[in-house]
Structure 1
Amino acid sequence: MTLRSEKTVPVLTLVAGLMVIWYIATVFLNAPFLRDQAERAGTPPPSFSELIPLTMAQERPVLPAPHQVAAEIWKTTGAMVLKGRPFSKRSLIYHAWITLSATLLGFLIGTALGVALAVGIVHNRAMDKSVMPWVITSQTIPILAIAPMIIVVLNAAGISGLLPKALISTYLSFFPVVVGMVAGLRAPERADLDLMHTYSASRAQTFWKLRLPASLPYLFTSLKIAMAISLVGAIVGEMPTGAVAGLGARLLAGSYYGQTIQIWSALIVAAALAATLVALVGVGHRMVLARMGMKEAA
């Protein structure tokens, strides 16, 4: 069995198991509505064999079946592409692009801020003692509490649109970058640092030749986490703004009108988008390690 199949078979088995559980949950969660409907109409309740197809074809189910979600995703993505309207406001491609824009901007700002803070913390004892505790404390504030505050303050300053959502993503994504980068910059052994001192290397030379290369495996691991939660930040940032575009707006609109199929389709697309972004960071991780002559840990 090849290495690829060793990884693929367990994943496919897990997905198949989740699909079975999902279908079973669909029947049991949607059945009470059908029984209540029959009782109000004064008709006999449907038998179990009749319940199964009925629970998987409701217009507004408590839990939509996987094939209903798949059909909704196709209708709002593939079908839109075939019609030549991939960026129609009814298309999930359009909404995913809006969310992706805020995600990537927030991720870039958060990465730059996290790396800058980590370098300062490692090279400045005062920053280590003063800034690092505040960095940790900042993550104890729930994002659902701080997101509306950021939106309101920036709107009062005349800043709206992409940047407020990106800053919420930044708030979430910079923390893992700081923690990972600090650990990476401090990874070199004392003997390696002493060797650089023996060669009369400056602090800048020690940073570029020793500390930075040693920190890259830690950095890319942190970037995978930062990318995923940056997407979460962008989605959360769309909810208190009354936004009409973005995956967060689709989730909010679906909850207002009880469109559970719309909610689940947006959730699945968001999960797929996050998985794709994390995978791209992983590709960059492997390329950098290969260039450095290292192998990624299994």
Structure 2
Amino acid sequence: MKQLMAVVTVVAALIVIWYVACIPMNIKGILTEAERAGAEVVPPEAKTRRDMSELKLVADNSFAIPATWSQERPRLPAPHQVGTELWDTTFNKKITSKRSLVFHGWVTLSATLLGFAIGTGLGILLAVGIVHSKVMDMSVMPWAIVSQTIPIIALAPMIIVVLYSVGVQGIIPKAVISAYLSFFPVVVGMVKGLRSPDGPQLDLLRTYNASKSQGFWKLRLPASMPYLFASLKIGIAASLVGAIVGELPTGAVAGLGARLLAGSYYGQTVQIWSALFAAAILAAGLVGLLGLIERSVLKRMGMA
């Protein structure tokens, strides 16, 4: 109960701060509209409204405060505007409509899951090779680390252009970018997990004359499960980011990235924020699902 109250308190505080931040962020737009309508919005001694700070504008034009929470195209939309847009585009639109966040979310989710599957499989295979081969440890691991220093926003267009040039289109380019972002956490976590058994445990296996494969399946792999699931949670979130980033350079018409892009083109900040929240909710759901699978697997293995 105390934990729930703490969460509710933090969320409520953030909402209050958000509403307060909307006032100085949107006040100039409201006053511009009022000026065009012939209203007096600044003191006579002020030369121009641009000479005044947002806080001074708020202090001298407090009548405009309520309007900062209901502007049609605000610089910072109010929480209730974002919530209304989320509800409307999730529950009041057909899921086949291009205005439905369910439709766009599924497009992004499909690329995310495919990329995550590719990245996870590649990461596990690389981790097994690194643990069992000193050559791979010395050669592959440094390159895996270096690969993550390249900004994905710069790499994504190159990947898409190269794949498009060989006729690979659709979901695959986005999945490749997702896999690129998700494989590294899996590699690092799995390597750490496979190396987690201590000396006495390995010595005990040698005493029983266990083979390397038996040591892997009976000791190393079970010991790596907590590390693997921790890295999978990071990887699935990174994979979602990769799918969204992969939609931006292509001018995609479907997906959460396309929703963000369309909102930026037409100055629809409410649409942008609703798409951002949809992506956050989707990521939280995926991480939560992995958490449930983790508890089930570890419980069956007697580790929970």
TM-score normalised by length of structure 1: 0.94
Match of 2:208 in 1: 199
Match of 1:30 in 2: 26
Shift of 1:48: 4.8
Match of 2:168 in 1: 159
- Unpaired stretches in structure 2, ≥5 consecutive residues: 43-59
Residues in 1 aligned to 2:92 and 2:194: alpha-carbon distance in whole angstroms: 49
Match of 2:10 in 1: 14
Shift of 1:49: 4.6
Say which of 231, 255, 259 aligns to 2:264: 255
Is 2:156–2:177's contact at 8 Å kept on the other side of the alignment? Answer: yes
Match of 1:53 in 2: 66
1:176 paired with 2:189, answer: no
What secondary structure does 1:77 align onto?
A: helix
Match of 1:146 in 2: 155
- Unpaired stretches in structure 1, ≥5 consecutive residues: none
Is 2:30–2:71's contact at 8 Å kept on the other side of the alignment? Answer: no
Say which of 88, 104, 108 aligns to 1:95: 104
Residues 144-293 of structure 1 mapped to structure 2, 5 A cutoff: 144-293=153-302
Say which of 107, 124, 143 aligns to 1:115: 124
Q: How many residues align?
A: 287
Is 2:41–2:61's contact at 8 Å kept on the other side of the alignment? Answer: no
Residues in 2 aligned to 1:6 and 1:133: alpha-carbon distance in whole angstroms: 45
- Over alpha carbons, which structure has the higher Rg? 2
Shift of 1:38: 3.0
What secondary structure does 2:19 align onto?
A: helix
What secondary structure does 2:65 align onto?
A: helix
Shift of 1:41: 4.4
Deviations 1:114-165 (A, max 9, x none): 0000000000000000000000000000000100000000000000000100
Deviations 1:63-108 (A, max 9, x none): 011111111111111112xxxx222111010000000000000001
Is 2:97–2:103's contact at 8 Å kept on the other side of the alignment? Answer: yes
Shift of 1:6: 3.4
Residues in 1 aligned to 2:116 and 2:105: alpha-carbon distance in whole angstroms: 16
Residues in 1 aligned to 2:132 and 2:33: alpha-carbon distance in whole angstroms: 68
